Amino acid sequence: MPINIAIDGPAGAGKSTLARAVAKRLGYIYVDTGALYRAAALFVLERGTDIYNSAAVSALVPMMDIELKYVGGEQRVYLCGENVSGVIRSPEVSKAASVVSAVVAVRQFLFDLQQDIAETNNVVMDGRDIGTVVLPNAQVKIFLTASPEERAQRRYRELRDKGMDIDYKVVLEEVNQRDYNDSHREVAPLKPAADSLIVDTTGLSLADSEELLYKTITDRLAEN
């Protein structure tokens, strides 16, 4: 039976970076579900559709062609045959993904894709509702978090390093808004699963955060 590790948490908690690193150490496949929702959001934006119009967004779902491919052990996201792994990381797509991810039709479409991967592979999967909805029977469930201020600072540095001219206060506002959207949506709101282990990386370096997450996971696996 494949081993499934579910990692949930708010925007900017470092889920993708840390989950990817831990998956590599464990020899598991890493699945970044946030990237899938970003790809869906990009599809909607490229067609000029109002992201707040659920019916219009739902109508686009049958045309979405989203794939995860693994090149040299690294995940790549393809939208209609095009590698969009870099494009989907823009602030505009991030904001749209938070809205589009609340659309039931989009969630169901991507839910099926995520479950198919987990049923046949040892995976580390991160997102917003992995432990609560997508992989409720995962052997290990983690809720990875950090203070809003720290998460905003990390995001701010990341964007500045990419050459984007952005104000920290704007990033913090976006983080707080994303937290509110994700935790208050009607479908699969962001919250820890009842049996989740809370991992708070506030004040920790990237290396220390990775070590804490890895130890938390391996300790729980050893108990099972």
Of 29, 32, 3, which Cα lies nearest the Cα of 17?
A: 32
H or E stretch at 126 = strand 123-127
Q: What is the pTM of this model?
A: 0.80
Question: ∠ CA(130), CA(135), CA(136), 5° rounding?
Answer: 100
Which residue positions in the chain have pLDDT lower than 70? Answer: none
5-21 pLDDT, tens per residue? 999 999 888 888 999 99
Residues in the chain: 224
Q: Strands 4-8 and 74-79, how do they pair?
A: unpaired
**Which residue, chain included where needed, has tokens 């491919």?**
69
Residue 217 near residue 23 (C-beta atoms within 8 A): no
Model pLDDT, residue 8: 94
CA distance 124 to 134: 12
What integer pLDDT is reported at residue 1 of this predicted model?
Answer: 84
Give the span between the Cα atoms of 168 and 210, in whole angstroms.
Answer: 25
Report the amino acid identity of residue 183: S
Q: List, for residues 204-222, the tens digit of each pLDDT value.
A: 999 999 999 999 999 999 9
